[in-house]
Amino acid sequence: MWAAVADVGRDAGGGYLRDAWSAADLELREWFRQEAGRRGLDLREDRNGNLWAWWGDPDTRPGVVTGSHLDSVRQGGAFDGPLGVVSAFAAVDLLREQGVRLGVPLGVACFTDEEGARFGVPCMGSRLLTGVVEPDRARGLTDDDGDTMADVLRRAGRDPAALGPDAETRRHIGAFVELHVEQGRALIDMDAPIGVAASIWPHGRWRLDFTGRADHAGTTRLADRDDPMIPFAQAVLAARTAAERRGVVATVAKVRVSPGSANAIPGHVTAWLDARGEDEHAVRDLVAEVGAGAQVGCESWSPRVEFDPSLAARLAAALGGAPLIGTGAGHDAGILAAAGVPTAMVFVRNPTGISHSPEEHAEPADCHAGVAALADALKELADE
């Protein structure tokens, strides 16, 4: 199964480009459809483009769901997302081999546009489903080519008018568990192949707009310039020093400079600030400090998520004493947990400790341990 997804959207340098609704994403969605079909699962696409493959009928009673996403960050790694979807199908196979029936429907999910690489807002599929993003706002978001999400959906044969909260699909999800490659070093440091999520840090993305005046790079005296690159550069440095001082993390990794000519002082700089940390106030204070010289707009905000501690502890025990770890990475599981779904996450060790990069990795033995752990977790959740 892994081989079928491993090459989709991969460039010569080994990085992945799997923007939501791109050709690579559509190919992976078709792969999902085929995997569901091969297993006789009932394939449904909800109004927000999330895919569901059901073993059993969730209209009769809510099911236990597992899955993740198939889109990637730009130049991303192989495992962030796909490992959770491939493992979900593998866990269904394992439960069937073991002759286990959970007593409730079992669903495999693929959430749309988890990374927000194209339109800026992460976990778009689960946010729309649970009503934490306005469908009008989603439809109007633009990608780097200036295409709106509505345009892109139409081109992909979807109806943008259908986007929005989906009580029917929400009702089908009695519980959710997402398996994910670990994106930091916690499991390496603890020498553990598998971990269970305890919490997700509060995190968000902000757009910072710096406006100046475009002018000639050779003829404009320094004293006469209004160069937005200067406050932008100060904001980047401020993000680093404020993060160190406040004990959080902050990243500026996407910048748009207009007009972008080497010999013209820019008229406008747009930068995106990603900030996260244990302490929500520290994150918000950092954003206020860093954005002081800019016009600031919040593109997404995800409050702290505490996964159900008793469920997490039970899972950790059922998985042979797997460690409980917190994470600064966002996940659809966090959006569902915030919407009141009993939710858990299983992490698989990443021996490089690097993620959102082609260097992200997971060893086959750890992936197999992950599938076994996921099958056990599904049994635990079915007992909720």
Binding residues: 69, 80, 115, 180, 205, 263, 276, 356
Q: How far is residue 244's CA from residue 250's CA, in Å, rounded to a whole number?
A: 9
Say whether residue 90 binds ligand GLV (CB under 6 A): no
Among 19, 35, 80, 166, binds Mn ion (CB under 5 A): 80
Cα torsion 158, 163, 167, 170: sign? positive
Please select the residue that binds ligand GLV; options are 153, 305, 329, 345, rule is CB under 6 A. 329
266 binds, among Mn ion, ligand GLV, none (CB under 5 to 8 A by kind): none
CB of 18 to ligand GLV, least distance (A): 13
Distances (CA, A) of 115 to 26, 74, 210: 16, 9, 25
125 pairs with which residues across the strands?
Answer: none
Q: If binding is defined by CB under 5 A, does position 306 make contact with Mn ion?
A: no
Which of Mn ion, ligand GLV, none does residue 330 bind (CB under 5 to 8 Å by kind)?
Answer: ligand GLV
Q: How far is the CB of 115 from ligand GLV (least distance, A)?
A: 6
Is residue 68 a contact partner of residue 111, using CB atoms and an 8 Å limit?
yes
Q: Which residue is nearest to ligand GLV (CB)?
A: 330
Residue in 58, 125, 231, 330 binding ligand GLV, rule: CB under 6 A: 330
Q: Are 68 and 179 in contact (CB under 8 A)?
A: yes
Q: Which is nearer to ligand GLV, 129 or 329 (CB)?
A: 329
* Cβ atoms 43, 37 nearer than 8 A: yes
Q: Give the annotated binding-site residues for allantoate.
A: 205, 263, 276
CB nearer ligand GLV, residue 54 or residue 307: 307
Is the distance from CB of 54 to CB of 41 less than 8 angstroms? yes
Q: Work out what residue 81 binds among ligand GLV, Mn ion, none; the CB cut-off runs from 5 to 8 Å by kind.
A: Mn ion
DSSP 8-state class, residue 93: H
H or E element: which one contains 209? Answer: strand 203-211
Residues numbered 127 to 156 that lie near Mn ion (CB under 5 A) are none
Q: Return the number of other C-beta atoms located less than 10 Å from residue 355's C-beta.
A: 20
Look up residue 33 and give its two tokens.
């459809």
Q: Which residues does 99 contact at the CB level (< 8 Å), separation at least 6?
A: none
25 binds Mn ion (CB under 5 A): no
Q: How far is the CB of 22 from ligand GLV (least distance, A)?
A: 17
The CB-of-200 to ligand GLV minimum distance in angstroms stands at 8
Angstrom distance (rounded) from CA 196 to CA 182? 10
Round to whole Å and give the CA distance between 133 and 151.
Answer: 18
Which of the choices Mn ion, ligand GLV, none does residue 11 contact, using the CB cut-off of 5 to 8 A by kind? none
Closest CA to 59 of 105, 124, 24, 128: 105
**Considering the complex, what minimum distance in angstroms separates the CB of residue 78 from ligand GLV?**
14
CB neighbours of residue 353 within 10 Å: 17
Q: Is 122 in the site for ligand GLV (CB under 6 A)?
A: yes
- Pairing state of beta strands 194-200 and 324-327? parallel
Closest residue to bound Mn ion by CB:
59
Please report whether residue 334 would count as binding ligand GLV according to CB under 6 A: no
Q: Which is nearer to ligand GLV, 122 or 228 (CB)?
A: 122
CA distances from 57 to 54, 259, 277 (A): 7, 54, 40
Distance separating alpha carbons of residues 312 and 333, to the nearest angstrom = 13
- Smaller CB separation from ligand GLV, 89 or 111: 111
Q: Which of ligand GLV, Mn ion, none binds 165 (CB below 5-8 Å, type-dependent)?
A: none
Q: Residues forming the annotated binding site for Zn(2+)?
A: 69, 80, 115, 180, 356
Q: Minimum Å distance from CB 135 to Mn ion?
A: 20
Is residue 338 part of the contact set for ligand GLV (CB under 6 A)?
no
> Closer to ligand GLV at the Cβ: 248 or 329?
329
DSSP 322: P
Residues forming contacts to Mn ion in the complex (CB under 5 A) are 59, 80-81, 168
Residues forming contacts to ligand GLV in the complex (CB under 6 A) are 115, 122, 329-330
